[in-house]
Structure 1
């Protein structure tokens, strides 16, 4: 490869992000966007989990054991394979977002990357190294 050659664009890019770190809380442009904020348990509300990330086994276990998450991951894998098998298949971008990009989106994006390994995806975690988003405790 010469200095003017560009590396090939990956067939699949999977991005985890935090809506709270995005301008106007908008998701990045993607073909498939998973908004994990409202429908799935948030590890952030547990003070013991708040400073951990999707790199930590406790968070991985909690997110992957959340009802609905395994089915959502499986459905997204099937959708990604369908997109990539189309007659005019081009690069596919999947985005997974939660509030801060530390827990749910990180784990889901990582799981998708593992399960779509045959497509050699690029997995990008946009906000895992940003500060924790401080928010009020949930009302009981």
Structure 2
């Protein structure tokens, strides 16, 4: 599983790519959160305070399990992205990874853009 930021390049190759840019609260638009990352509790609280995100984690976990049940067993690659890759995507990936691990699956997790500099952009939330 890889979290990433669309503003830092193309999404990684994946079986499932989840685009979080338009549907969930973007901590970037809050000046007090902009320079924090998914490692900081206020960022996670902001992301998880958005309606629908817990359901998307559940649905994505179910999709991963469905892929694993297919005739060609092998790793399932999941990529989830937000604008900069520092807030929504890594928070989502951490929660999804925890849920899949709780189901007994082995999960490799990589945050491609978490430690990259903040991309200065407008207040559009994308």
Q: How many aligned residue pairs are there?
A: 122
Cα displacement string for residues 7-27 of structure 1 (whole angstroms, at most 9, x for unaligned residues): xxxxxxx100000001xxx31
Name the structure 1 match of 2:3: 16
- Superposed, 1:108-119 pairs within 5 Å as 108-117=92-101, 118-119=104-105
Q: Tell me the CA shift for residue 137 of structure 1.
A: 3.2
Q: Give, in whole Å, the separation in 2 of the partners of 1:76 and 1:65.
A: 18
- Deviation >3 Å, runs of 4+: none
Which of 50, 54, 70 is the aligned partner of 1:66? 50
Q: Deviations for 1:60-100, whole angstroms, at most 9, x for unmatched residues?
A: 11111211111111000010111112222211100000000
- 2:108 aligned with 1:126, yes or no? no
Residue ranges of structure 2 left out of the alignment (5+ in a row): none
1:105 equivalent in structure 2: 89
Separation in 1 of the partners of 2:123 and 2:45? 23
Question: Normalization by structure 2: what TM-score?
Answer: 0.93
